[in-house]
Amino acid sequence: MQRPGWDEYFMEITGVVSRRSTCLRRQVGALIVRDHRILATGYNGAPAGMRHCLEVGCLREKQGIPSGERHELCRGLHAEQNALLQAALHGISIAGGVFYVTHQPCVLCAKMIANAQISKVVFRGAYPDRMALDVLLECNIELVRL
């Protein structure tokens, strides 16, 4: 059990990580933590080797696509996806970990989080995706909105 204050401490760090984001619409940061140790970080942006939206513009913005819809029409990966991929790339087991995210995960990320055996998700900002919360709750993942 984490002592009071850990959630707020790690959420502060997600804010710092989010500053690396190259997304023009929303800067998101994520951490995966276990036993008070940061195992992986992620922020939203284009895959390695691709030009970032900062350079080429936002396709979703140009097409007027609302937040929370048509995820496939985006150059970037979500912060949660990048944190999961970073852990996998470096062979770090994250089962039983806690995900800290500046914003509520979308349904795609929620399903990945569930399959990664994350035990808890802590987030601050809203995201228009009720199904994501339903997935996490059905998978018995503790949710904390700060």
**What single letter denotes the amino acid at residue 129?**
D
Rounded Cα–Cα distance for residues 92 and 16 (Å): 22
Whether 72 is catalytic: no
Q: DSSP assignment of the chain, as one string?
A: -PPTTHHHHHHHHHHHHHTT---SS---EEEEEETTEEEEEEE-BPPTTSPPHHHH--HHHHTTPPTTS-TTS-SPBPHHHHHHHHHHHTT---TT-EEEEEE---HHHHHHHHHTT--EEEEEE--S-HHHHHHHHHTT-EEEE-
The pairing of beta strand 98-103 with beta strand 29-34: antiparallel
Q: Which of 8, 80, 138, 142 is catalytic?
A: 80
Tell me the per-residue pLDDT of 66-125, one tens digit each, with 9 for 90 and over: 988 898 889 999 999 999 999 999 999 999 999 999 999 999 999 999 999 999 999 999
Tell me the per-residue pLDDT of 82-93, one tens digit each, with 9 for 90 and over: 999 999 999 999
Query: What pLDDT does residue 67 have?
Result: 86
Give CATH superfamily name and number for 6-45+77-145.
Cytidine Deaminase, domain 2 (3.40.140.10)
Domain ranges of the chain: 6-45+77-145
Banded pLDDT at 139 (limits 50, 70, 90): very high
pLDDT greater than 60 at residue 2: no
Q: Which of 66, 85, 67 is nearest to 77 (CA)?
A: 85
pLDDT greater than 70 at residue 4: no
User: What is the share, in percent, of the chain residues with pLDDT greater than 70?
Assistant: 97
pLDDT greater than 70 at residue 40: yes
> 98 to each of 14, 43, 79, 117, 139, how far by Cα in Å?
13, 16, 14, 10, 14
Residue 103 in marked binding region: no
Residue 139 in marked binding region: no
State the average pLDDT for the chain: 94
The residue length of the chain stands at: 146
Residue 74 in marked binding region: no
